Amino acid sequence: MANESTKANSNDPFDSRSLGVLLAAGAGTRFAGEQHKLRAIVGNKAVLSHSLDAVLDAGFDAVAVVVGDDDFADLIPEGVHVIASPNWADGQSQSVHAAATFAAENGFSSMVIGVADQPLVGARTWAGVRSATDTPLAVATFGAKRRPPARLDSSVWSELPQTGDAGARELIAASLDRVTEVPSAGDPTDVDTIESLGDVRQRYADRLVVRELLGREPMGAFEVVARDGDGRPVVLKNHPVLVDGRPMPTLYWLCGERESMLVGRLEAMKGVRRSEADVGLDAVNATHDRYRAERDAILATIATTPTHVPTGGVGGTRNGVKCLHAHYGYHLAGGDDPVGQWVADHLHEVDSASWPSKR
C-alpha cells in the first residue's frame, strides 16, 4: 500500500508521498455559538478556512478534510479530498482511522494530521512537520508543548488507537524514541468555546500587528504581555529558542513603535551610560541574574534540550547595560528591572515633537 519506489529513491528513510489531513468531523458541543465553531469568523474568513489554507500552502502532494457532523461543502474548495467519518461521534480516533484508510488505499506513504479548530498554526508549521522525515513520527512543538499537526509514516498506522478521542497523541507519547519534535512559530490556540474564539481573534490581530512592526513573520513562538492604550502590542515574551534552532536571547522584546522610538532617542542621549551610572553595576547585574533564571526555567521545560541555548541576562548581556530597549521591555512586562524603571523615569526628556533639542 505504501509507495515503496518513492522510499527506495530517497536519502531519508521515511521520506514519502505525503497527504495533509485536516480533522473537521466533530460537532464542537462546547461551543455555544449560533453556528458550528469552524464556521465562526476570525479576521475575514472562517476558522476552517484559515486552517485549510495553511495545509494547502504547505506543499503536500494532496490535501484531505475529514468531515462528520457538518460536510462543510461550501468551505472546502475543489481539489481537496473529502473523507467521511461515519463514526465520528465515537471519538477522534475514528477520524484518524478514516484518514489512514484513505491514505493507504490511495498510495500515500505518510500523512500529516492536524485539527481544524487551530486556525493560527500556519503553513510554515505544517511544512516543517511534513519535512521531518528522519523518524516515522514527527510532531510540532510550541514552546515546551507537543501539539498538532503530527506526521505519521505508513509503518505506524497499524499502531493507531482504534477507539477513544486521543487520535495519534497516545502513539506519540509511547514512542518518543521514534519521534522528531519540530519547533514551531505558529500559535496552537484552539477554538472550543465562545471565550476561546475571542482569544483567537485577539491573537490573530496581534500577529498581524507584530508582522507589520517586524516587517516579516515572527521567527519564534511569542505572547503579548504588554499593550498600549489602544490595545496594540508593546512587549512580546519570546520563547528562548527560534524555530530554526538559534537562541533567542531577548526574552522580553519591546516591539511598540512609539516606545521603541522614544527609547532610541534616550539611548542617543547617552542613556546607556547614564542609566548604568545611576543604577549601579551591582543592581544591574542582579537584574541579569533574575532575567536569566526566568528564561532558564522555561528552557528546563523543553522535552528535548536544544543544541544552542541563549546565555546571559537582559538581551543576552552578562555585565552592565547594553540595550535600554530590552530593559524597558522587561520592566513593562512586570520584571524587577531598575534600569527599565530608570528609562520610564527619563522618557519625558525625549517625548517631544521638537526633539532633538539643544542641551
- Phi, psi for 280 (deg, rounded to 5): 95, 140
Mean pLDDT of 73-93: 94
- Phi, psi for 235 (deg, rounded to 5): -130, 135
Query: Hey, what's the cell of 175?
Result: 514512542
| Residue 312 and residue 297 in contact, taking contact as beta carbons nearer than 8 Å | no
CA-CA distance, 21 to 99, in Å (whole number)?
7
Query: For 2-16, 213-227, 289-303, which range has the lowest pLDDT when averaged over its residues?
Result: 2-16
Query: What was the pLDDT predicted at 170?
Result: 87
| Residue 3 and residue 16 in contact, taking contact as beta carbons nearer than 8 Å | yes
Query: What was the pLDDT predicted at 356?
Result: 58
Mean pLDDT of 112-134: 95
Superfamily of domain 4-183: Spore Coat Polysaccharide Biosynthesis Protein SpsA; Chain A (3.90.550.10)
Whether the ω angle into residue 119 lies within 30 degrees of 0, i.e. cis, is no
Residue in this structure with the C-alpha cell 469568523, named with its chain if needed: 41
Query: What was the pLDDT predicted at 166?
Result: 79
Mean pLDDT of 120-144: 92
16 has pLDDT over 90 = no
CA-CA distance, 119 to 44, in Å (whole number)?
12
CA-CA distance, 222 to 47, in Å (whole number)?
21
Mean pLDDT of 161-169: 83
CA-CA distance, 23 to 38, in Å (whole number)?
11
Query: What was the pLDDT predicted at 307?
Result: 73
- Among residues 318, 338, 319, 320, the alpha carbon closest in space to that of 328 is found at 338
Per-residue confidence band for 354, with pLDDT thresholds at 50, 70 and 90: low
Taking phi over 0 as left and psi of -120 to 50 as alpha, with beta for the rest, 245 belongs to left
Query: Hey, what's the cell of 245?
Result: 534552532
Q: Please, what is the average pLDDT of the chain?
A: 89
Sequence-distant (≥ 6) Cβ neighbours of residue 17 within 8 angstroms: 3, 6, 61, 107, 108, 109, 110
Sequence-distant (≥ 6) Cβ neighbours of residue 157 within 8 angstroms: 100, 103, 104
Per-residue confidence band for 284, with pLDDT thresholds at 50, 70 and 90: very high
Q: Domain limits of the chain? A: 4-183, 219-349
198 has pLDDT over 70 = yes
